[in-house]
Structure 1
Amino acid sequence: MEQGREACCSSEDSFMPEYKMLKTVGQGQFSKVKLAIHVPTVTHVAVKMIRNEKDYASVVASEINIMKSLKHPHIIELFHVFQSRDTTFLVMEHASQGDLYRYIMERRCLHESEARRLFTQIVLAVEYCHNNQIAHRDIKADNILLDWMGNAKLCDFGLAAKVPPGHLLTDYCGTPLYCAPELFVGEAYDGFRADIWSLGVLLFLMVVGRFPFWARSPEGLRRQILSSKYSIPEHISNDIFIVIIRLLMINPGSRPSIDQIMRCSMITDTLARLPPSTQRLPGTLTTTSIVSSMTVMGYKSEENTDCLREQKDNQLMATYLILKHESSVGDSCHQPVKPRQSGLVLNLGDHHTFPVPLRRATEPAPLAFTMSCSLQETEHENNARQGGTRHSMPATLCHLSDRPQPPHLVFPNRPRSS
């Protein structure tokens, strides 16, 4: 493992000169994520560095292909893929406010208005994935990032799968606390319905500040999830209450599809109230103006035209995609474009106050589970910030802190889904 990390680190020295590495913001067993500056545009990006391993080549290839196929305002965008002998580099959009897990933990739980807004954005991202036959299979707070405007961005497609209509999956993976009951019984399952369950766990966590299911052992957790025993505090609003119990139905066929979730009142009412600033706006720069800017930066116009026509995956295309992305969303960390010069040296003095969230770096691992735990568990917080590890089941769950929990009751007068 240490040799692999050394190889990954040594690859940084040979990484393309268009990127200036700043610091590591997350690390896993097989990968790490670094905050970097894309020198030509002076824009912050996240660079995921994955150690090349023969056993995981197909997993990494799947993650790259899926990310390349996704273009959505609430999904982290992939700009460029570069491979050296030892390492695969994924250059991605940088979300400067960190992950939703930390955001919830700092506030203990979210105000319902904010939870509705963020959950709606997450559902929009999942709807886009499902409509494109992609099951994420690891939806959780750690895999939701927040951009500089506080908007949600779904990330980490290392366990995602392209699923034809009607096809069932047989490989069991994800994070146990978010896993649907059917993943614990050893039978083929619907990846999309499993995502719906994970959304229910996520919404519960956002508004309550704890997980609906927790136990001190894998078997205890399994029993809780299979029996779907959980309680919802009285203060939770009825519309959120109803969505949670519909998403956390034991029978996968009883859970709503993503399209049905989009039609529930909680989502439709939130969409109607969302200000335009929370959504990606159409790009303010046309392709022609972006190409013109790239010419000023030192790229040849003929190369620009050829690259865009052939959709090459190279540094020129990465610059184009970054400029296009910035014109769409803006970025508080984005600097004005400057002409590209040979031997350009960045002065990083202006970036010392840039907020760098410690984000999880997911390592590729087939047929595996990622670990998570209670918001009250300091050990899990440290592990998550370091990137966490993937474990094959069974895995040892970290224990709850001794801080007493308030009673949480399900009130019988609440409306129930049929």
Structure 2
Amino acid sequence: MDGYKCKQVSALPNYRVGKTLGYGTFAKVKLAEHVATGHKVAIKVLNRNKIKEMNIVGKVQREIKILRMLMHPHIIRQYEVVETPDNIYVVMEYVQSGELFDYIVEKGKLPEDEGRYLFQQIIAGVEYCHRNRVVHRDLKPENILLDANCNIKIADFGLSNVMPDGHFLKTSCGSPNYAAPEVIAGKPYAGPQADIWSCGVILYALLCGKLPFDDEVVPSLFSKIKRGEYTLPDHLSYAARDLIPRMLMVDPVMRISIAEIRQHPWFNIHVPGYLAAPPLDTAEQARKIDEEIIQEVIKLGFDRNQVIGSLVSRIQNEATVAYYLLLDNRRRAPSDYFQTSFKERLDGTLSSMIPPQVLASYPALVDHHMTGLQSRVNVDKSWTLGLQMGSPE
């Protein structure tokens, strides 16, 4: 595998395990190759003793359960979980181009067209999570990965939770620079609105190359966030200067929704066809089976009925791992990125998703939300990785 020495791990007979990609407090991530398909994966190796010592067994189990449920082109894929008495092996999609954070640090502020392209994918992934009642709670560029074609993969669901309708969360968690005012204030909060605030901070970072809220002194940082104290650079377009304040509205009741973001003129420029329709939920996606990929899996020696039955029932096994690896690697082709699986969904719906009257309003947008915004943030401050606060419910 790319010249690296591989070895067989007895618990993982279907993979050739290669180099270590990274280390964490209680885990390490290994690069591996799926034997049947030849495609690369990343395997997170979780040490059972360490996660017990750190009292995070429930957190790990929740993240695994949530990732197993999510199936979206802009959310990192979990292929299977293999458990032994000593370790938990989580086989995940290998995303090779690193963090969005590093990309922004390297390039600085992005042109609006490029920032929009990335932001549209982020919103699509977050919208899918919310549709399935999952709130991420730690959205930031460090937790958003880029694949080889510079497409978004939302990752690190360690602080995420499933949120029933009408339920409010209480724990302050995530990174303060990206946390909503209601979260850092310790008030009960609605998860989707908190995620939208974080997306607003990310959009600002994409287009401005810096954070809207930043201070080396945490109480001062919290004060700025609670007051919504930041500035918008002059280089931003009128439409961007309209959208960002709507997302960074201190009052969560007044904050823009994802449905409204989708209708905003800035967002609606050059929306990729496969993102124009609302996302399928997990049950709908499980019923969408690609016949060409099924035929490829059958050629690997799997029974057709077993493959289809496992996909529909959302069972993780050798057949479904092969199916999704083949599907995901076909989708990575830059000439037809994800559009095949969404084509049926789009037929007859695209024109209704972007009302002409909304697009017509684009030239007339004014930055009326700028009134009263203060300008005391030091524009020369460097990026911070942010502090981690609290643990999830």
Please state which band the TM-score falls in when normalised by the shorter chain.
Answer: 0.7 to 0.9
For 1:261, what is the secondary structure of its paired residue? helix
Any conservation in 2 of the 1:159–1:173 contact (CA below 8 Å)?
yes
Identity %: 35
- Mapping for residues 208-223 of structure 1, pairs under 5 Å: 208-223=208-223
1:14 Cα deviation from its structure 2 partner = 3.9
The residue aligned with 2:298 is 292
Matching residue's letter, 1:47: I
The residue aligned with 1:96 is 96
Alignment partners' CA distance in 2, 1:182 and 1:376:
25
Matched, 1:315 2:318: yes
Matching residue's letter, 1:75: I
Any conservation in 2 of the 1:149–1:278 contact (CA below 8 Å)?
no
The residue aligned with 1:237 is 237
Deviation per residue, 1:364-416 (Å, 9 max, x gap):
xxxxxxxxxx9946xx6xxx7xxx985549xxxxxxxxxxxxxxxxxxxxxxx
Q: Greater CA deviation, 46-55 or 309-318?
A: 309-318
1:119 Cα deviation from its structure 2 partner = 0.3
Any conservation in 1 of the 2:33–2:40 contact (CA below 8 Å)?
yes
The residue aligned with 1:324 is 327
The equivalent position to 1:20 in structure 2, one of 13, 16, 23, is 16
Report 1 or 2 for greater relative contact order, CA contacts < 8 Å, sequence distance ≥ 6. 1
The residue aligned with 2:27 is 31
Alignment partners' CA distance in 1, 2:8 and 2:135:
32
The residue aligned with 1:51 is 47
Unaligned runs of 5+ in 2: 1-6, 280-287, 336-379
1:24 Cα deviation from its structure 2 partner = 2.3
1:37 Cα deviation from its structure 2 partner = 1.3
1:238 Cα deviation from its structure 2 partner = 1.2
User: 1:206/1:301 Cα in 2 relative to 1: closer, same or farther (>3 Å)?
Assistant: closer
For 1:236, what is the secondary structure of its paired residue? coil
Alignment partners' CA distance in 1, 2:228 and 2:139:
19
CA-based RMSD of the aligned residues comes to: 3.0
User: 1:300/1:71 Cα in 2 relative to 1: closer, same or farther (>3 Å)?
Assistant: closer
Alignment partners' CA distance in 1, 2:230 and 2:148:
34
Alignment partners' CA distance in 2, 1:206 and 1:220:
23
Any conservation in 2 of the 1:151–1:278 contact (CA below 8 Å)?
no
Matching residue's letter, 2:29: V
Unaligned runs of 5+ in 1: 1-10, 333-373, 394-418
For 1:36, what is the secondary structure of its paired residue? strand
Deviation per residue, 1:239-263 (Å, 9 max, x gap):
1111111111111111011111111
1:136 Cα deviation from its structure 2 partner = 0.8
1:205 Cα deviation from its structure 2 partner = 0.6
1:310 Cα deviation from its structure 2 partner = 5.7
The residue aligned with 1:188 is 188
Alignment partners' CA distance in 1, 2:387 and 2:33:
27
Aligned residues: 328
The residue aligned with 1:362 is none
The residue aligned with 2:349 is none
User: 1:71/1:312 Cα in 2 relative to 1: closer, same or farther (>3 Å)?
Assistant: closer
Give the alignment's TM-score, normalised by structure 2: 0.75
Any conservation in 2 of the 1:35–1:44 contact (CA below 8 Å)?
yes
1:285 Cα deviation from its structure 2 partner = 4.8
Alignment partners' CA distance in 2, 1:277 and 1:178:
25
Any conservation in 2 of the 1:284–1:328 contact (CA below 8 Å)?
no
Matching residue's letter, 1:320: Y
Deviation per residue, 1:219-245 (Å, 9 max, x gap):
111111111111111011111111111
Matching residue's letter, 1:329: R
1:286 Cα deviation from its structure 2 partner = 3.0
User: 1:37/1:375 Cα in 2 relative to 1: closer, same or farther (>3 Å)?
Assistant: farther
The residue aligned with 1:8 is none
Any conservation in 2 of the 1:143–1:156 contact (CA below 8 Å)?
yes
Any conservation in 1 of the 2:176–2:387 contact (CA below 8 Å)?
no
The residue aligned with 1:40 is 36
User: 1:331/1:34 Cα in 2 relative to 1: closer, same or farther (>3 Å)?
Assistant: farther
- Mapping for residues 4-403 of structure 1, pairs under 5 Å: 13-52=9-48, 53-54=51-52, 55-271=55-271, 274=272, 285-286=291-292, 288-295=294-301, 299=302, 304=307, 307=310, 311-330=314-333, 376=382, 390=388, 392=390
Give the alignment's TM-score, normalised by structure 1: 0.71
For 1:73, what is the secondary structure of its paired residue? coil
Any conservation in 2 of the 1:21–1:34 contact (CA below 8 Å)?
yes
For 1:268, what is the secondary structure of its paired residue? coil
